[in-house]
Each structure stands twice: as structure tokens, then as C-alpha cells.
Chains A and B, each alone.
Chain A
Amino acid sequence: MHNLTLPISEEQIRQLRVGDTVSLTGTIYTARDAAHKYMVENFIQGEPPATEREMLAELEQGLSGGVIYHCGPIVRKDESGKWHFVAAGPTTSIREEPYEYQVIERFGVRAVIGKGGMADKTLQACGDHGAVYLHAIGGAASLIARSVVEVIGLFKEEFGLPEAFWKIRVEDFQCVVTMDSHGGSLHKEVEALSERNLQEILK
């Protein structure tokens, strides 16, 4: 088990190989479809609009050496107005494939967490910019919510609660490296292996 504490350095990332298990501690951000589209449209294609400067500063600071989690949580607000994560498993990552290369490059993201894996462009970004794809355990929603020890901030609430950016502090968030910074993809390996096995079984 590799223990990673944020911010993560490129050197730490380069040591990880597919199949490694990691335990993550520190401040990370959730982002899914609306958030990825927003980042690319506002901060990557052309001049950032004046209204979005604060958000830009937040992301530049928070995502450098940082982590994005593909997740649309079930949340709860307590009597004092503080938010809590109730259930927070990963969502399918492949929907962010069109955006992820640019987001990793622009903000210096070191790890993307989700489920189901991503495709060639993101794998390329992992190699080019020193990042990894971490697979969380699909369906482990109650357990992952418990590793979210604090909800620090909520940005872009207007996207809807599952789609907004949640800034959260996690402790011992366990994942598996399934795409590393050396071109390795466990998804490709397992697919190739299972295809050989299938041919063998059907012979």
C-alpha cells in the first residue's frame, strides 16, 4: 500500500505502477460532467472571463499536485448548515475522456479517481504530465463517504448538487492504480488476457 498525502509530487507518481493500491489523504475536489465542461470552456479555450477569476485561483491553487474525483455524492446539511457526504462512490469516468487531457495539463492534476477506467488520450496525459488514474471501488458508497472527514467548500452549486465542485478532505481513501504514468493500463491488460482466455474456452 502506497500512502499519498496531498499535494503529490511528480516523483511520487512516477513510482506507481498498475495494480498498486494507494491510500490517499488530503484535500481533493469532486468534478463530473458539468464541472469538466466548465473548466475547459472557461480556463482552457481562450481568456478566462472576469467573473470566474476567483474560481480560477481556487482551482489553480487546489489542483496543482491535486486530485479530481469523479463522483456525484448523496449529501446532507446539518442544523448548523454544514454539509456531510452520506454516500459517495465513484461514477463512470469515460464520459470525461474528451476533457481530461487538457484539465490534467492545464492545472497540473496528479491523479484522477473514478471507475471503469479511461481511454488513450487520458493515458497519454498520464505519461506526458506525470499523473495516474485511480480506480475507486464501485458501489462502496458508505465506506468512501466515511473517509470524507470534512466538506470544506461547495463551488458552482448552480450545476446541481451532484454536478457541483465539492472541496473535501479525505483520510485513507483507498484506490487501485489502473493507469500509470508509464503507459500501463490494467484495463487493457485485463481485456487482452480475458480475450485470450475466451478464445481458449470456446475452442
Chain B
Amino acid sequence: MNPVKIDLRESLLELVRRASTQLPDDVTRSLHEGLLHERVGDAAASALKIVLENVALAAEQNTPICQDTGTPIFVIHHPFGYSQRAIAADVEWAVITATEHSYLRPNAVDSVTGKNSGNNIGSGLPSLHFHEWEQEEIRIDLLLKGGGSENVGGQYALPSAPLSAGRDLEGVRRVVLDAVFKAQGKGCGPGIIGVGIGGDRPHSAWVAKEQLFRLLGDVNEDSELAELEQQLLAEGNRLGIGPMGFGGATTLLGVKVGAAHRLPASYFVSIAYLCWAARRASLTFNNGEVTFA
């Protein structure tokens, strides 16, 4: 059977434009809430005010929220019958065109030669993840994941004697708090923390990264993990690191935890740190009609 023919190029370009210039509502709302918890006149309050002013200005002017437009991560859900290669080609076209329009900064550097490809295309870039699903529509989720915040993420192998972290959720709690402490303000906090428990090393890291696509308000289906998320969010904010590391109440906007099966021999915990510029957007293609969210 031949794959269904579709052209998603212009829709994907619009998806990239939205992600780069419009911060999702749940993140903007959470930044506003953070501001209410900071003392008037403090550096933390002024940082959040400037962040919010910048968010409004970027949307109004149609300019990038941040000049580092990061790694474009696309998660593509599609029903049976579509060509992944054709969709990937449309994504590449959209990324190249978005770079020409300055919605994306050229960010793909050859690790061996040091040369920037100039159009955001390279080995592993853009980052594409395909899933075939039962539903009839195609849904494409995009996250622009900044580099400064990526640098403060990490991975722990439990048990960890120095952190008194065993192979259980209490151990997970200890290493996540350690990672938030070590990041200080360097990842352009307030941050959103994705946690991946289990898997081998790369799968663990991916589970952590996947959590960053979740809305801040969604509740984990696993009640134990839901509880851990709430606890870590509250405890992370008690550290006092604050926006940009200036000190204050708003260190984190959210903590999202996912778990995968592991080998008896391994217990990995991965932490993905997402800066306040949490640029996600998604599109749905159904019966030839495209909607954005």
C-alpha cells in the first residue's frame, strides 16, 4: 500500500514560529504566580517582571523569546499509513525556512570540524521521535530546548553513598534535590524539572526529556509519582535559589517524573532542566484540517 500523501510544510513552519515567539499559557501563568510570591523590590521580583515583559514583547513583535532557540525536539504521533520519511522531509524544510526568517538561530555545529551548518540541519538535528498510534489524527509536539539549561542537567546511578540515596523513591528525591541545588541559577531559572527513573542510560535521559512536554497543571497517573512531583516542587522552592539564582521563592515552576523498567543491576535517575523559556507548541492534523495548541 502507498503512504497517504500530505503536505505539512507551511503548518510546521507556523508551529516553529509559534514555539519561538509565544510562551505557552500555562508557563506564563506560572511565572505570574511566582511573581506574587516574591517580595516587592527584590531582585527576584524584578527578574520575573522583566521575563514577563519580554514574553509579552516577543509575542507582540513576533520575535524570538530568547536568542538561543536551542534544540528543536519534534515528537510525532501518527496513525498507520503515513511515511515517516516524508514527514521528516517536511520538518527539515520548516526548520530551514524558520532559520531564514530568524525564528531560529543557526544552532547546529559539527562536533569534529566546529563548523556551523547555518540552517539547523545536522546529524541528530532536528531531533525527531516517531510514534505510531491508534488515533486517526497526526499530532506533532515541538519543544525548543535551550542549551544553557541543558548544560545543568545530569544523570545519577543509584545507590549513591555521598548523597545517601538508595534505590527507591526516597533516593530519587535526594538526587533530584541535589541536581536542583547544583544548577543554582545557571539554567535560567525558574526551571521545570523532568525526571526519568530507570531504563538504560539513554532511555532514562529520554524519559526525563519527555516529561518536559507535559502541561504544568497535569497530574501524574501514577499516584506515588504524583505525590513525589508535588513534594519535589515544594522542596525545590524551599531551597531559596530563586529566579536567575538571585535568591527567592520561585526556584521551580514544575517537576514531572516518569519511570521505565530497568535491569536488576541498574537504577538510573536522569534530570532534564528546562529554563523558564519553555517553548512548546503542538499541531493536530485531522482530515486535512490543522489546529494549533
Contact = CB atoms under 8 A, between A and B. Distances in A.
Interface in B224-244: 235, 238-242, 244
Interface string A131-149: 0000101111111111000
- State the majority secondary structure of interface residues on A: mixed
B121 to A, nearest CB: 19
A4 interface: no
Q: How large is the interface on A (under 10, 10 to 19, 20 to 34, 35 or more residues)?
A: 35 or more
A137 B244 CA distance: 7
A198 interface: yes
A195 B63 contact: no
Interface string B55-72: 001100101111110000
Contacts of B117: none
B96 interface: no
Contacts of B235: 201
A176 B174 CA distance: 31
Interface in A111-168: 115-117, 135, 137-146
Among B47, B61, B275, the most chain A Cβ lie within 10 Å of the Cβ of B47
A122 B149 CA distance: 24
B50 A190 contact: no
Given A116-B185, A137-B51, A140-B54, A87 B67 contact: yes
B157 to A, nearest CB: 19
Among B46, B50, B174, B235, the most chain A Cβ lie within 10 Å of the Cβ of B50
B120 to A, nearest CB: 14
A146 to B, nearest CB: 7
Contacts of B239: 194, 197-198, 201
A30 B241 CA distance: 28
Nearest to A87: B67
Interface string B240-278: 111011110000000000000000000000000001110
Contact of A195 (B51, B181, B238, B244): B181
B88 interface: no
Contacts of A138: 66, 148, 185, 188, 244, 275
A161 B17 CA distance: 23
Contact of B275 (A73, A74, A116, A139): A139
Given A74-B102, A176-B246, A198 B47 contact: no
- State the majority secondary structure of interface residues on B: loop
Contacts of A178: 246
Given A138-B148, A174-B50, A89 B66 contact: yes
Contacts of B238: 197, 201
Interface in A75-102: 76, 86-89, 92
A202 B177 contact: yes
A190 B102 contact: no
A142 B57 contact: yes
B53 interface: yes
Contacts of A74: 64, 67, 102, 105
Contacts of B184: 187, 190-191, 194
A147 to B, nearest CB: 10
A201 B237 CA distance: 11
A5 interface: no
A76 B100 CA distance: 12
Interface in A164-196: 174, 176, 178, 186-187, 189-191, 193-195
Interface of A: 19, 21, 72-74, 76, 86-89, 92, 115-117, 135, 137-146, 174, 176, 178, 186-187, 189-191, 193-195, 197-198, 201-202
24 contacts: A19-B247, A86-B102, A89-B67, A116-B185, A116-B245, A137-B47, A139-B54, A139-B146, A141-B58, A141-B63, A142-B57, A142-B63, A145-B63, A176-B47, A186-B247, A187-B245, A189-B247, A190-B240, A190-B246, A190-B247, A191-B184, A194-B240, A197-B240, A202-B177
